[in-house]
């Protein structure tokens, strides 16, 4: 692993949690990408600067950041020494789609109680055998998150990107096998160039970047399941292991082998 990089990832036996990801990076910057899960993030050292929905945000120590699924974001160190973060990825059973809009508008929550509870959640998630405590703490965290999001009215959007949404659904359905813009254009009755403009304008990310993000997300889950990178690559839609490694390192900051080597196995 490169100097200044530390990564630990695992999937605990806690309903609603798809992955726990602890990392320290000094210089690495995430390009624009998406997740298919909610990203609940706290920073323990340093700070992260990121863009979400074309607006810049930051993560000081007292902030809990909640990034919704399928919305592109990036990330880079906001301090000279880099940052150390703890992330828990949550599926839709904890936070529904109705909260995506408010989370896009206000992803950074300054709430000392919530920040403390998220830290306690991570401590419980790191201890095999304490799954009930972790589930209890997650229940309280999710409840407080929902309370925050219900109080934040959704800002009006001037455009309804119907075509972009249809293309995203098509990409989601073809993550592994993929699809060409020409075929997508035939299915959606739109010129390929118009598809790219509509998708990029609606989501702030190109269709190919979105698809690669989804594939990397699938590869992460397969690696957490114990698959070696050579098997995870084609199962996630990559041409070969080298193809997976190139995109995985770009989006996660480490190679698939290093990521798998830093995973914990549920006991």
Q: pLDDT tens digits, residue range 7-24? A: 999 999 899 999 999 999
Q: Convert the pLDDT of each residue in 127-149 to its tens digit.
A: 888 898 999 999 889 999 999 99
Q: What is the pLDDT at residue 264? A: 66
Q: Within a domain: residue 84? A: yes
For residue 15, give its domain range. Answer: 6-150
Give yes or no: residues 44 and 117 share one domain.
yes
Last residue of a domain, one of 127, 150, 173: 150
Is residue 48 within 8 Å of 26, Cβ to Cβ?
Answer: no
Q: Within a domain: residue 118? A: yes
Last residue of a domain, one of 120, 150, 180: 150
Q: Within a domain: residue 209? A: yes
Q: Within a domain: residue 1? A: no
Nearest to 18 by CA among 165, 221, 185: 221
Q: How many domains does the chain have?
A: 2
Mean pLDDT confidence for 220-246: 94
Is residue 71 within 8 Å of 52, Cβ to Cβ?
Answer: yes
Helices 131-150, 112-125: crossing angle, 10 deg rounding: 150
Mean pLDDT confidence for 90-98: 91
Last residue of a domain, one of 150, 180, 204: 150
Q: What is the pLDDT at residue 228? A: 95
Please give the structure tokens belonging to residue 45.
């050292």
- Listed in sequence order, the residues at least 6 apart from 129 whose beta carbon sits closer than 8 Å to its beta carbon are 267
Q: Within a domain: residue 156? A: no
Confidence of residue 182 (pLDDT cuts 50, 70, 90): confident
pLDDT beyond 70 at 189: yes
Give, in degrees to the nearest 5, the angle at Cα 184 between 207 and 33.
15
Q: Within a domain: residue 224? A: yes
pLDDT beyond 50 at 253: yes
Is residue 241 within 8 Å of 233, Cβ to Cβ?
Answer: yes
CA-to-CA distance for 189 and 163, rounded, in angstroms?
10
pLDDT more than 70, % of the chain: 91
Higher pLDDT among residues 145 and 263, named by residue: 145
Lowest mean pLDDT among 80-89, 127-136, 157-166, 210-219: 157-166
Q: Within a domain: residue 155? A: no
Mean pLDDT confidence for 20-35: 89
């Amino acid at each position: 692993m490169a100097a200044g990089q530390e990564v630990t990832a695992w999937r605990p036996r806690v309903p609603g949690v798809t992955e726990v990801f602890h990392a320290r990076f000094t210089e690495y910057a995430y390009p624009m990408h998406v997740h298919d899960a909610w990203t609940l993030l706290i920073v323990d050292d340093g700070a992260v600067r990121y863009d979400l929905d074309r607006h810049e945000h930051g993560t000081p120590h007292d902030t809990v950041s909640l990034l919704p699924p399928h919305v592109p974001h990036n990330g880079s160190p906001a301090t000279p020494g880099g940052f150390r973060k703890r992330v828990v990825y949550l599926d839709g059973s904890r936070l529904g789609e109705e909260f995506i809009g408010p989370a896009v508008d206000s992803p950074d929550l300054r709430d000392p109680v919530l920040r403390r509870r998220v830290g306690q959640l991570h401590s419980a998630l790191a201890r095999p055998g304490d799954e009930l405590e972790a589930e209890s703490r997650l229940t309280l965290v999710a409840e407080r998150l929902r309370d925050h999001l219900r109080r934040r009215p959704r800002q009006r959007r001037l455009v309804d990107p119907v075509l972009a949404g249809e293309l995203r659904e098509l990409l989601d359905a073809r993550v592994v096998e993929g699809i060409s813009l020409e075929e997508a254009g035939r299915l959606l009755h739109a010129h390929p160039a118009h598809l790219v403009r509509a998708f990029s304008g609606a989501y702030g990310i190109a269709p190919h970047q979105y698809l690669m993000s989804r594939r990397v997300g699938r590869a992460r889950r397969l690696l957490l399941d114990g698959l070696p990178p050579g098997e995870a690559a084609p199962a996630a839609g990559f041409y070969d292991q080298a193809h997976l490694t190139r995109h995985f390192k770009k989006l996660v900051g480490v190679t698939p082998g290093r990521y798998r080597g830093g995973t914990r196995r549920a006991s």
